[in-house]
Amino acid sequence: MRDANPQTIYLKDYTVPEYLIDSVELNFTLDDENTQVISRLTMRRNPASQSVGKSLTLSGENLKLLRVNLNDGDDLTAVDYQQTADSLVINEVPQDQRFVLTIENQINPKANTALEGLYLSNGMLCTQCEAEGFRKITYYLDRPDVMARFRTTIIADKNRYPVLLSNGNKIGHGELSENRHWVTWEDPFDKPCYLFALVAGQLHYVEGSFITQSGRNISLQIFVEPHDLDKCDHALQSLKNAMRWDEDVYGREYDLDLYMIVAVSHFNMGAMENKGLNVFNTKYVLARPDTATDSDYEHIEGVIGHEYFHNWTGNRITCRDWFQLSLKEGFTVFRDQEFTGDRTSKAVKRIEDVNMLRTRQFAEDAGPLAHPIRPDSYIEINNFYTLTVYEKGAEIVRMIHTLLGTEDFRKGSDLYFQRHDGQAVTCDDFVKAMEDANDVDLAQFRRWYSQAGTPVLKVQQHYEPTGQTLTLTIAQSCPPTPGQPIKEPLHIPVKVGLINRDGSTASCQLKGTDQASDELTLSVTEAEQSFTFEGLAQQPVVSLLRGFSAPVKLAMDYSLEELAFLLSHDSDTFNRWEAGQQLAGAIITGLIEDCQSGRDMRLDPIIVEAFRKVLEQPWDDLSYFSLLLDLPSETYLAEQMQVVDVEAIHKAWEFVKRTLAQQLQPQFQALYQTNHRDESGQFDAGAIGRRRIKNICLSYLSKLENVDIQSWAEQQFKTARNMTDQMAALATIVNNPHPAAKQCLVDFYQQWRDEALVIDKWFALQASSPMPGTFATVQALMTHDAFDLKNPNRVRSLIGAFSQANQLHFHAANGQGYQFLADQIIALNTINPQVASRMLSALTQWRRYDESRQALMRAQLERIMGTENISKDVYEVASKSLA
Ligand code: TRP
Ligand code: ZN
Residue 682: beta bridge partners? none
Exposed/middle/buried for 757, CB within 10 Å: 0-12, 13-18, 19+? Answer: buried
470 CA from centroid of ligand 1 (Å): 48
Provide CATH 1.10.390.10 ranges for the chain.
318-450
CB 131 within 8 A of CB 271: no
The segment(s) of the chain belonging to CATH 2.60.40.1730 are 9-202
Nearest ligand to the C-alpha atom of residue 838: 1
Residues of the chain where predicted confidence (pLDDT) is lower than 70: 1-4
Tens digit of each residue's pLDDT (9 = 90 or more) over 645-655: 999 999 999 99
DSSP state for residue 805 in the 8-state scheme: S
Residue nearest to atom 11 of ligand 1 (CA): 130
336 Cβ inside 6 Å of ligand 1: no
Active site residues: 307
Residue pair 294/168 in contact (Cβ under 8 Å)? The answer is: no
Protein fold of 753-883 = Zincin-like fold (1.25.50)
CA–centroid distance, residue 254 to ligand 2 (Å): 17
Report how far residue 709's alpha carbon sits from residue 725's, in angstroms, rounded to the nearest whole number.
15
pLDDT one-digit tens code per residue, 385-434 = 999 999 999 999 999 999 999 999 999 999 999 999 999 999 999 999 99
Compute the chain's Rg from CA coordinates.
Answer: 28
Cβ contacts of residue 210 below 8 Å, gap of 6+?
Answer: 217, 218, 220, 239, 240, 243, 244, 254, 259
Atom from ligand 1 closest to the CA of residue 307 = 15
How high is the pLDDT of residue 4?
66
Report CA(322)–ligand 2 centroid distance (Å): 13
Judge if the beta carbon of residue 382 lies within 6 A of ligand 1: yes
Q: Is 31 a pocket residue for ligand 1 (Cβ < 6 Å)? A: no
Give bridge partners of residue 520 from the DSSP assignment. Answer: 496
Task: Fill in the amino acid letter for 36.
Answer: Q
**Predicted pLDDT at 683:** 80
Checking phi first, is residue 601 left (phi over 0); if not, alpha (psi -120 to 50) or beta?
Answer: beta
Which CATH number does 318-450 carry?
Answer: 1.10.390.10
For residue 271, the ligand 1 atom closest to its alpha carbon is 7
Q: Are 505 and 442 in contact (CB under 8 A)?
A: no
Mutational pocket test of ligand 1: of 130, 195, 300, 319, the residue with most ligand atoms within 8 Å of the beta carbon: 130
- Residue whose CA is at the smallest distance from ligand 1 atom 7: 272
Mutation choice for ligand 1 from 269, 275, 283, CB with most ligand atoms inside 8 A = 269
Q: State which of 136, 261, 268 you would mutate to test the pocket of ligand 1, scoring each by most atoms of that ligand within 8 A of its C-beta.
A: 268
> Is 385 touching ligand 1 by the criterion CB < 6 Å?
yes
Strand-pair partners of 460: 473
- Sequence-distant (6+) residues with CB within 8 A of 695 are 724, 725, 728, 729
Q: Can you tell me whether residue 498 is helix, strand or coil?
A: strand
CA distance 857 to 848: 11
Predicted confidence at residue 1, as pLDDT, reads 44
Query: Distance (Å, rounded) from C-alpha 149 to C-alpha 88?
Result: 22
CATH for the stretch 9-202 = 2.60.40.1730
Ligand nearest to the CA of 269: 1
Length of the chain in terms of residues written: 883
For 818, residues 6+ apart whose C-beta sits below 8 A from its C-beta are 810, 843, 856, 857, 859, 860
Is pTM, for the whole model, over 0.95? yes
Annotate 145-211 with DSSP letters as a single string: T--EEEEEEEEEETTT--EEEESSEEEEEEEETTTEEEEEEEEEEEE-GGG--EEEES-EEEEEEEE
- Go through 254-271 and write b for each residue having 16 or more CB atoms within 10 A of its CB, e for each that does not: bbbebbbbbbbbbbbbeb
Any atom of ligand 1 within 6 Å of the Cβ of 113: no
